[in-house]
Structure 1
Amino acid sequence: MNVQESASRVYEYMRKEGADSWGLNLNAWDWVPGVGVAAIADYGTKARRRDVLDFLQQWEENNREKSETLKTINSIAPFAIYAQLHRHTGDSYYREASLRIAEWLRSEAPRTREGALEHTVTEKNAVFTEQVWADTVFMAVLFLARTARLTGQEAYAAEAVEQTLLHLRLLQDGETGVLFHGWNCMAGNHMSAARWTRANAWIAVGVPEILAEVNGLTEIPEELRERYSRMMEAIVRRQNDDGLWSTVMDRPDFYRETSGSCGIACGIVRGVRDGLLERALLPAADRTLEAALERIADTGEVLGVSSGTPVMETIEAYNRIRCEPTLYGQGLALMLLSDYLE
C-alpha cells in the first residue's frame, strides 16, 4: 500500500473497530480516543477531506455529555480538536468550552512542587501524586497552546511554554539527552529511570505543534529550543537499523514498538518544517515511514503497538507490556502518514 491508501485504511479502522474495547473505543472521553481524534483531525486537514472533519463534528456532539464527567490531565486530550472544530463549523460553543477547560488547567489542575502539571489519569480515577510524565505535554499542554491561538490570550500561550520547558527540565537525561518516562517530585528521582520510547514520542511530536500555536503570542526561550534539538538528535542516534525504536530506546534487545517510532518520526518531520531541527535528521523519519508501512495490515490495523503503560517498576517490565491495537497507536501512525501526504 502507498501512503495515501494506508492513511485511508488506518482512518477507517479507527472509525469502525472495537466499540467495546478499551484500546479501540472511540466513544469514550479520555486520552486513548483523544489521541485518536486529534490524529483524525490532522489527517482530515492535510488530506483536504471535509467529510473527515464532519465525522469529528458528529463524534463530538455524540460524546459531548461525557466531557464534563471527569477533569484529569488525560481527559483533556479530546479537547485538542475544539479549535479545529471551531474553525470548521463557526460554532462559538467550541471557543467557550475551550476557555473554560483552559482556565481549569491554568488555575485549578493539581501541580507538583516544581509547578508542573501533575499527571492525573482517567483509568479508575487513579492519581499519581507529585508525578510528572512526558505524556502530559501531548495530552494537555497541546490543548492549552491551541486555545491560546484560538482566543489570542497570551496567558495560555505563556503557560503552555512554561509547562513544556518544565517537563523537559525534569525529564531530560543530562547524560544522554533523551527523556525518562517520569519524575517523582517527592522522591526526587526518575523512578525506574526508563528511557521509554513513547514518552519521548509524546514530546517529540508535541513540541513543534505547541510552538507553532504560540508563535507570536509569547516569548519562546532559547533553552526550550536547545533542549528539544538535543533530545531529537540523541533519539535519532538510538534508531535501530530497521527504522524503528525499541520500546525502551536504549535497549535494542527489547521489541520494536510502532506507535512511539511513528511519533518520533512525526516530530522529526514537523521539527524540520518549523526550523527547530536540521534537515539532516529527515532520513531517519523516512526510514521509520518505510518500516511503519510494513506494519499496517490490509485491514488498516497498526501492528506492534504496546498497550497502556504507566511508569513501570523496572526497565525490564516495559518489555513485558503486551502489544494490541489501540486508537493512540493508530493515531500516531496516521499523523506520520498525514505528514507525507503534503
Structure 2
Amino acid sequence: MRKYPLQHLEQLRTETSMLPGKNIEIIVKPSPGEDRPGYIDPAEFALLNEHWAGATKNPEEQPAEMPPIEVMLPAIRESMGFPNYNLNTVEIHTRYEELKGSGNRVGLWRHYPRKSSGNVKRPALVFFHGGGWIGGSVYTVENICRLIAELADAVVFNVDYSLAPEKPYPHGLNDNFNAVKHVYDHAEAYGIDPERIAVGGDSAGGNYAAAVALKARDEGSPKIALQVLIYPCVVMADAAAEGYEWKEELFDISPEHENILRGGLLALGKPKKLQDDLVAALYVSDETDIRNPYVSPMLADSHARLPRALVVGAEFDGLRVQTEFYAEQLAQAGVEVKCLRYKGMTHAFMDKLGHAAQAEDLCTEIAEAIKDL
C-alpha cells in the first residue's frame, strides 16, 4: 500500500542534482511537489504534524523538573518508530533464531524471497534498527528488511540487540558484531555468499554498522563487503574530529518551517556535554568512551581499508552534518562512497515506508548497492 503516486518515485530516480564536496559529490534527491529551498517535503510535513515528532510545545508548559529516567524511558521507547506498510509483491519467508555468542540472548530474524530459496550464493544484509541505543524495534524495520530482500534477491537479517541503559556499551556493539560473525561463519547454511555480506542500519543502527565495519577491519574478520549508513550518528556528545563543525547556519530554513525545525528536529547531533545528552549518557557511562572509535567512528585513527559505503542523510536532520563529514572521511581514506541527501526530509524518514516515497526509493538504492557486490 502506497500513500503517494508512482510519479514521486520516478522524480526521485530521475531528477537528482549533484552537490560538490571536498572528496565526494553528494547526490541530492528532490522533494516531490516542493521546489522552494528551506521547506520540509509536503508529505513529510503532513506526517510530522500528525506525529509526536512534529509537535512543538510552549516552554511555559514544560515541567519545571524532568522526571527520573526510569519514569521517562517507557514513554520514550513507546514513542519511537512509525507504523509503515508492507510493499512486497512476492512471498517472503521469515525465520527466527536466538544467538548467545555475545553473552546475551539476541534474536536474529531473517527474510528472503521464496523464489530464490534454491540460490546458494545470494548476497546478504545484516541490519541494525535505530532507536538511540535505548529503544527501537526489529518490528519497525521489518517491512523495510522484507522489501530490500525482495528488491535485492537477498537474505536480510534483522538483529534484536540489547538496549541501554539495562545493557550499556559495549553490549549492543558486541551483540551486533557477533551476529555478523555468526552470519559469515554460517554463510553456506544460510545460502549466502560470504564475499557479499553487507551491514547496515539507521541512526543508532547506522552507528553500529560503522562501528562493526571498523571492528571487523581491525580484527581481520568477518569480511564485510558494504556498509549502509542511514543518517548515522558517528560522533557522540561533544567529541569531534579535526575539521568537524556543527552549526545551524549549515541548514537552509524557511520562515514558515522555522518553529518546527529549530524547535527540535535540528537539535539532534548538536554537540553537547555528555551529561546534557540524555540518550548518549544512557549508552555510555564513562566520558572517555565518547572518544572510542567504536562509539564515535568519526574518531578512528584511520578509515582506510573499510568496506565500500552507501551513506544517506536527510536535509533537515541535525545528524546530516556528521553524516556527510563521515562520507568525506571515508572517501579521503580511499573508500568507495556513494552519498545521498534527501531534500526536504527529516530524521527517521525511512520508517515511513508506504507513507513517503523517499523511504521506498531508499530501499531501492540499498538493494541496488547490494546487487552491485
- TM score, norm. by length of structure 2: 0.32
- TM score, norm. by length of structure 1: 0.34
Please identify which structure carries the higher strand content: 2
Structure number, greater radius of gyration: 2
Please identify which structure carries the higher helix content: 1
